Structure 1
Amino acid sequence: MDKDRNLSLEFAKKMLTEATNNNSPNDQITALKRIVTLEPENYLQNFQKFDSINDNIQTERNRHKSQFAMVRYDVEQKNTDNQRLKNQTFQQNIGLGALALALIGGAFYYKKEKNVSNKKKNSK
């Protein structure tokens, strides 16, 4: 049993070394969990390493979540602004169309009244 424990500890330490060399915090945590249980005499030192790495990972994950939330909020805000601008443009186009029809109608009415007025003048 002691031989298996020593062998497991040796492999866990090798795993920690490789994880550190590869800059893999998740693997470092896995290795440190094993080392903490297999090597009680250095429990505090190993647990502090474990806790520090785990805190760094959590901080990084929270930062990524926050960044993702900000991006999603920005996209939603831009979509809302875009929809508002589309509605505003549509309303302006309707207003311009109504104005154009009123001007064309006014021009025809003016021409008609002018013709009627000229006919009255000519008939007198």
Structure 2
Amino acid sequence: MNHSAFPSAPSRRTGRIVLASLAVVGLASAAFAVRRPLMMSVPRCMAGRWHGCYDTFNGVVLMMLVGLPLAALVVWALARLRRAAGVTSAWRMSLAEVGMVYGTVPFVWMTLMPGPGRASSPAG
């Protein structure tokens, strides 16, 4: 018997296909689970009523998802500039920096939003 340490090329390809398929199914499941809460904010955002769009958790998460292509473009531009400057791990550094900012800002924004009882608090 030949027990090699590395699997053959067809089994690696099959493994990659299965992994990619599971990733697509997982992403579709997550999108299906959050579509209804996110769609509650779409009419306000599309109508230009930013007060109803940016001051709810659903609106902030929706804007975060809408901005993903812009974040990907920033990662690409930073990586390209760094690669031209001769940095070896340009993609990894660019993705980490943009990911830190893009992953933190919406949650800080949601944390600092006033709660529903802001007008009914007792006078101190």
TM-score (norm 1): 0.27
Structure with more contact order per residue of length (Cα contacts < 8 Å, sep ≥ 6): 2
TM-score (norm 2): 0.27
Query: By percentage of residues, which structure has more helix?
Result: 1
